[in-house]
Amino acid sequence: MGLFAQINIPAIALFSYSFLFLTILAAKKSKVIYSFLAILLASIFWTGGSMFMRLLLFPGVEFWYQISIIGLFCLPVAFYNFIYEFIGEKGYFLRTIWSFSTVIIVFLNLFGVFLAAPSVSISATGEKIFLYNIQWPIIIIALFTLVVVISMFAMITRDIKRNETYGGRLSPIIIGILILFAGNLADLIPGVSSTSIDTLAGILNAGLLFYALYKRRLFNMTLLASRSTTYVIAGTFVALIFAYFIKPFESFIEKDFYQFYSYKTLIIAISFTLVTLIVYNGVKRLFDHIFVKDEVVQAQLLKNFSFDVSKSLNLDEILTELVRVMQAGVGVDKLYVCMPDENREFYHTVYSSSPLDSQEFKFSFSNPCVRWLNKNNTCLLVKEFQRTVLFKSMWEQEKRQLADLEIECLVPLNCDDELAGILLLAKKSKNSAFNFDDINFLESINSIASIAIKNARMYEKAYLEARTDDLTGLLNRKYFYQMINDEFNKKQNESITLLILNIDDFKLYNQLYGNQEGDAALRNIAHIIKSCVGKSGVTARYSGKEFAVILPNFDVLSTTLLAEEIRGQVAIMNQGMKNEVLKVLTFSAGICAYPYGANNVKQLIENVEMTVFNAKRSGKNKIEVYSLKEPSTIKPGYTTIIRPDVYKEYASTIFALTAAIDTKDHYTFDHSQKVAEYATILATAIGLNDEHIEIIREAALLHDIGKIGIPENILNKKGFLTTEESEIMQKHVENSISIIKHLPSLDYVIPGVIGHHERWDGKGYPRGIAGEDIPLSARCLAIADAFDAMTTQRSYKKALPIEFAVREISKNAGLQFDPVLAKTFVGLVENQKIAV
Amino acid sequence: MNFEAKLKKKQYENLWQEYCGFLDLDLENYMQIQKRLMLEQILIWSSSELGKRILKGKQPRTIEEFRRMLPLTTYLDYAQLLLQKQADLLPDTPVLWIETTWEGGKHPVKVAPYTKSMLDTYRSNVVAIFMLATSSGRGNFNIRPNDRMLYGLAPLPYATGLLPLLLDAEVKLQFLPPVKSAEKMTFGERNRKGFELGSQEGIDLFFGLSSVANFIGQSFSSMSSSGAKKNILKYTPKMIMRYLCAKYKSKKNGVPIKPKDLFKLKGFVCAGTDSKCYKKSLEDLWGCRPLEIAAGTEPTCIATEAWDRDGLYFFPDACFYEFIPENEMLQGIEDPSYAPKTYLMDEVIANQNYEIVLTVLKGGAFARYRVGDVYRCLSTDKGNETIKLPRFEFVDRVPTVIDIAGFTRITENSITDVINLSGLGIYDWIACKEYNDDNTPFLHLYVELKQEAIESSAVSKKILVEHLSVYFKYSDSDYHDLKRLLGIDPLEVTILTSGIFDLYKKNNHNSLRRMNPSKHEMMEFLKVHNKSYDKLSVVKK
């Protein structure tokens, strides 16, 4: 027991202090840490010096005694400093006094003023005895220590008083100091002193201080698992084993393996090495298991994640992997991934850890969290964020959303200084707070995931752009071909139907309402088709005004019903959309199904195109099915708007309008009749079909209808018009359009009406368009209009001779008039097919 | 985690950031908070039934649209819905309704709904106030659990009654007297009891109306010696020592004991109209410069001074602030149909007076609301090196309201009622808020008597003052409290000679505003008066 108490306990104490010292040395330094290191150093001096003195080691008792006593004398002030830093006390006065006094005491004691080095004698039993010559000055040291301890306790009391319920954090320290005291007092009790109980108390005290620091999270426990501490532990352990077992082991070899006795040194050396290796690895594994297990798991996850996402450009795959890794690495219950929308107004939830989670959550770009993440590019802990000024600008709804989802941490996915996404982490499974290691892990994941996600999004965007149509968002024609081939290959043993929808008179629609309105109509129709088809098929924009729908497993009947549904919705599409009345759009559709109507993809497409053409030719607004027999209309009776009987239907309207102008300006009425006559002859001469001729005739009748809105004094003015009057007069074209626009059934005449004052060279009005951009009907009207204007008497001029008019038309061919039409018209006049 | 828990973790820097961090904002970031919260408020207010009714079908989406579409409002715009406490028509569910008197209103009280978010903001801002009240520099504050607070303000359902409840949720303070027993006491009893308890154990914090704190301070000597039966055992040794020292010093120097001789206040918060008149005196009496705040029933707590106690800074998250320049405000008073222009916090100019217009954030009911307070901008961000926000001081109520010492609000209607009730033959009158040599505010009533009253009844000036005082007290209990609690007699009457109002009107082609005409107008009026007659009789009670 005596040996154990005098050597082994100090040895264990020295080991413990050294171990803590090495461990803490690796921690991030702060004033508290430095003050704790000072305690450990003083303790090492005290215990080590004392032990080496007892062992009578070189350079001698005197040296080790001084080392030991320096440590001992410095301990009170080291404790004082530690408490001072630990509780954040202010004021330097006492601290300076104690420190300065300690330096003086230590210095004086080098000369043995307070307690001189002991003398060594050997007892009869061979035991070493250390004799101290205790003099009265030692009382100064005792008093000094007492005063320092009192001031230390006063400091602790003040702090506890200030923070009544927070005394808990100081408990380990107080207990430690009390134990140290008790240990030192026990040393004075005869019989107990030999057990080195003061040293034992010192070990316990150091352990408690260590615990207090750990509780304040001043260092990481993983520091304990550093290589240096593992070496120290393994080394000490092996040294102890061999110190006790080397002799028995030697006798064991000598006794039981005598033949190997001459190799005993080698055997012992090999055994020592092996045991060292085993102990080192055992200690390392144990430490790793206790302290760095989580880190190892996280590192492995990180490595796997990095490898997995580097192989993929699929966003879904990356997000799935990201969520899995985060859940495994940090241990969160729920996790959401938010990505910016196209308009860059919100970050929407695009992925969550469970498909059952609501994905309604979204962050606006102006959300203070987003601003914070953008600025700081690091994890945001909601609890900490709540304590910033920026949090004040959070909306209540935004706060509620975070609270409802129990979000505790937001991780930015930053790439090229841009917030490419946000990860929302709900509370951890064990309800513990996010710690330093978690944040490190999340940030490592973030840097890998950010790049992977950005690449995947770029790829996805490029892939999408390459296969979709910008305007409608449907697949483009190129990708349509790929899709139909793919689907065909997949469905060879089943049926596949192709439906193509071609919008009727879409050019007219564009001319009536402008390209912008036309684009809107295309988008709306695309939306209708997409909604009706859903996931049953693939929808594409086949050409400018054509849409194609690939319908795997559909038969003709179900496809026709689908087309009917689309037609019904397109028919009502424009109702109530705008303030002005928009023309009803219709389409002609063709359907062909494999294997009933085609043997391969090429045939399928050709047959549908032919069917659409037939539907157009036979009156538009029809859904036709390809058949190897005569083309049949599924629902006869759907006819084009432009059918002969329609003209009869609207003749009364046209008559009413022309009659109206007649009452105001009889000349215009006559003029319109004549222009209609000339234009009809010209249209017939250039070989237009009956429908087109009829359109031109009606356009001619209505082309000056806008003159209703021109004041009579300008209409009937004798003499030339002033500039202002001319401007008013020119407005009759727009007036005409405004009137006709409100009669959607007559809108087909608008191209003719609107363009009859345009010139071939582009110098006309109202739009200044040129050449063949001017509708054919308008070009016909322009010549007819000019010819009649020249050959009839007007209020401001007499009728000009026909020859003059013909010459003028010839002269202006290619300038004002279409050269081909002008030539034809001149020919018609010269051949007297047109008579004035 | 509340303030107390954070305090115990010694996270002082974080606490300062959390509660007082707004003082570190620059104007741009301040406006960003204002505008963002305002957008939230526009969204919820406009879609509420209350908002729809006031907006009359308009749907503003931006702050500019909101300011353009919504005219400035007064309580009258809300009275019908709020007085019936129709919670379902409001932007957000109210947790409680706070009451106050409706000066010159058609109803004796007006009520304001408080939502949970409003209360959260209020609580956070109240903590900021007390941190600042105990601070002498940035980041340096001294509130601790169990600090004793003398609290001289009204209990619920008045807005001031919220404070103990809100503070209690953040940090446990000892209110003097305890909140529960204080609720059953009258205002005077509470002050007396609080003072008595404070004398026994000491006072760390004091929050009260400036006028009340001043009155307590000035009558301290008599209050501390009153109540002969004192139980010495209830006094802490420290307080006994302080009391003895103070007594000795008082006798030696022949001066009365002041509160500062007995109490070492860590923080002193004052509120109420006329605070600026009392501040110097309060500092002398209590040994601690008070920190002034601005708060009200409708707007909640909106502004506080910082550690330098040199001007108010508005909290960015309580209300959205607009400011009517003084000339625009006066034009609005002259012509009620005129819509005054408003400016935002980043548009105010130093050394200008502004009437404040508030939109209560966080689901509050009041939007573009004229609360009737006038502030002066002392400096904008360039003026102060440490705090880069506009700094203000509370000037007074709008000229149409006369507020004496934060107790009573007298309007043209209330004076007319009093005159009618009194039956005195007063032909015409002008009311001005003026200050005496001690900087104490009073109501100065300039009256012209009817000719027949002069001839047929006893209308000496003394009778006028006494008569009117009786009826002021009858119709306004707050006015009564002025005398009862503070010993202030706030009425002075000057009898003008007959015909002066008609003469002024004839000379100037218009009448003078009855409530608080401008100083120049008043000077002109008195010049007319002095020219016509040699002597002007001024009588004080």
- The pLDDT assigned to A517 comes to 83
Looking up tokens 């704190």, which residue turns up? B213
The predicted structure's pLDDT at residue A220: 61
- CA dist A412 and A421 (Å) reads 6
- Residue B134 structure tokens: 């105990």
Average pLDDT over residues B518-536: 72
Contacts of A166 in chain B (CB under 8 A): 8-9
Q: Average pLDDT for residues A205-226, to the nearest whole number?
A: 69
Which residues of chain A lie closer than 8 angstroms to B40, CB-CB?
A: 395-397
| CB < 8 Å to A386, chain B | 18
Contact between B17 and A387 using a beta-carbon 8 Å cutoff: yes
Partners of B20 in the beta sheet? Answer: none
Q: Which residues of B touch A365 (CB under 8 A)?
A: none
| Residue A633 binned pLDDT confidence (cut-offs 50, 70, 90) | very low
Give the angle subtended at the CA of A824 by the CAs of A819 and A825, to the nearest 5°: 95
- The type of residue at A699 is A
Distance, CA of A282 to CA of A286 (rounded, Å): 6
3-state secondary structure of A597: coil
Looking at every residue in chain A, the average pLDDT score rounds to: 82
Per-residue confidence (pLDDT) for residue A638, from 0 to 100? 35
pLDDT at B166: 87
pLDDT at B291: 95
The string of pLDDT tens digits covering residues A745-763 is 666 677 788 888 889 998 8
> B37 to chain A, minimum CA–CA distance in Å?
6
Average pLDDT, stretch B26-39? 94
Distances (CA, A) of A751 to A374, A547, A621, A686, B169: 54, 25, 21, 18, 76
Higher pLDDT, A773 or A252: A252
Nearest to A393 among B7, B14, B32 (CB): B32
The model's confidence at residue B105, banded by pLDDT at 50, 70 and 90, is low
pLDDT for residue B14: 84
Residue of B nearest to A88 (CA): B10
SS (H, E, C) A21-51: HHHHHCCCCCHHHHHHHHHHHHHHHHHHHHH
Question: Considering only CB atoms, which chain B residues are within 8 Å of A390?
Answer: 33
Of A693-702, B221-230, B502-511, the range with the highest mean pLDDT is A693-702
Helix (H, G, I), strand (E, B) or coil at A413: strand
Q: Measure in Å the smallest separation between the Cα of B17 and chain A Cα atoms.
A: 6
Q: Is the pLDDT of residue A639 over 50?
A: no
Describe the strand order of the beta sheet including B205-209 as a list of residue ranges.
Answer: B174-176, B148-152, B205-209, B267-271, B291-296, B300-305, B312-314, B391-397, B369-379, B352-360, B319-325, B343-344
Section A16-40 average pLDDT = 82
Sorted by sequence, the CB contacts under 8 Å of residue A322 that are 6+ apart come out as: A305, A309, A337, A423, A445, A449, A453
Average the pLDDT over each of A258-272, A653-667, B202-216, B313-327 and give the range with the smallest value. Answer: A653-667
User: CB-CB: which of A163, A165, A389 is closest to B22?
Assistant: A389
Mean pLDDT of the B486-494 span: 81
pLDDT band at A640 (very low <50, low <70, confident <90, very high): very low
Residues of chain B contacting residue A395, judged by C-beta atoms under 8 Å apart: 36-37, 40
pLDDT band at residue A6 using 50, 70 and 90 as cut-offs: low
Q: Is the pLDDT of residue B385 over 80?
A: no
pLDDT at B327: 93
Say if CB A468 and CB A476 are below 8 A apart.
yes
pLDDT of B297 > 70? The answer is yes
Cβ–Cβ under 8 Å, residues A664 and A708: yes
Instruction: From chain A, pick out residues whose CB is under 8 angstroms from the CB of B172.
Output: none
Residue A412 CA to residue A378 CA, distance in Å, equals 6
Chain A residues contacting B via beta carbons under 8 Å: 88, 162-166, 366, 368, 383, 386-390, 392-393, 395-397
CA distance A327 to chain B (A): 27
What pLDDT, on the 0 to 100 scale, is given for residue A642? 38
Q: Which of A236-250, A316-330, A555-569, A692-706 has the lowest mean pLDDT?
A: A236-250
Average pLDDT over residues A457-481: 86
Q: Which of A7-11, A499-503, B15-19, B396-400 has the lowest mean pLDDT?
A: A7-11
Residue B427 C-alpha, separation from nearest chain A C-alpha, in angstroms: 55
Q: Give the one of B10, B32, B117 whose C-beta lies nearest to A396's C-beta.
A: B117
Helix axes B275-286, B210-218, angle to 10 degrees: 40
Contacts of B317 in chain A (CB under 8 A): 392-393
Give the nearest chain A residue to B316 (CA atoms).
Answer: A392
* Greatest CA separation for chain A: 161
Residue A449 CA to its chain's centroid (Å): 11
| Size (chain A), residues | 836
Tens digit of each residue's pLDDT (9 = 90 or more) over A662-678: 777 777 788 888 999 99
Strand ranges (E), B415-502: 426-435, 441-449, 491-496
What is this structure's pTM? 0.61
CB contact under 8 A, B36 and A397: no
Longest dimension (CA), chain B: 78
Residues recorded for chain B: 541
Task: Please judge whether A392 and B17 are an interchain contact, meaning their C-beta atoms are less than 8 angstroms apart.
Answer: no
End-to-end Cα distance, chain B: 57
What pLDDT is attached to residue A162? 64
CA distance B70 to B66: 6
Q: Give the residue-averaged pLDDT of A550-561.
A: 89
Mean pLDDT score of chain B, rounded to an integer? 85
Are B171 and B7 a contacting pair, CB within 8 Å? yes
User: pLDDT, tens digit, for every residue of B453-476?
Assistant: 777 776 677 888 888 888 888 777
- CA B153 to CA B169: how far, in whole Å? 19
pLDDT score for A190: 62
**Alpha carbon of residue B421 to chain centroid:** 28
Structure-token pair, residue A226: 């550093």
CA distance A101 to chain B (A): 32
Checking if the pLDDT of A164 tops 60, the result is no
> Which chain A residue has its CA at the smallest distance from B20's CA?
A389
**Interacting residues of B202 by C-beta distance below 8 A, sequence separation 6+:** B148, B236, B238, B239, B263, B264
- For A29-37, what is the mean pLDDT? 85
Closest residue of chain A to B22, computed from CA coordinates:
A389
Share of chain B above pLDDT 90, in %: 34
The ipTM, to two decimals, is 0.79
Q: Which one of B10, B92, B117 has the shortest CB-CB distance to A88?
A: B10
For the segment A814-825, what is each residue's pLDDT rounded down to a tens digit? 999 999 999 999
Chain B residues with CB under 8 Å of A85 CB are none
**Do residue B145 and residue A366 have CB atoms under 8 angstroms apart?**
no
Across the range A775-785, mean pLDDT stands at 90
B18, B24, B317: residue with CB nearest A387: B18
CA angle B357, B360, B364 (to 5 degrees): 145
Residues paired with residue B359 on neighbouring β-strands, in sequence order: B320
Query: Do the chains contact at B37 and A393, CB–CB below 8 Å?
Result: yes
Cβ of A389 within 8 Å of Cβ of B10? The answer is no
> Which of B9, B25, B36 is opposite residue A366, by nearest beta carbon?
B36
The backbone region for B210, taken as left when phi is positive above 0, alpha when psi lies in -120 to 50, beta otherwise, is: alpha
Asked if residue A196 has pLDDT above 80, the reply is no
State the pLDDT at residue B35.
96
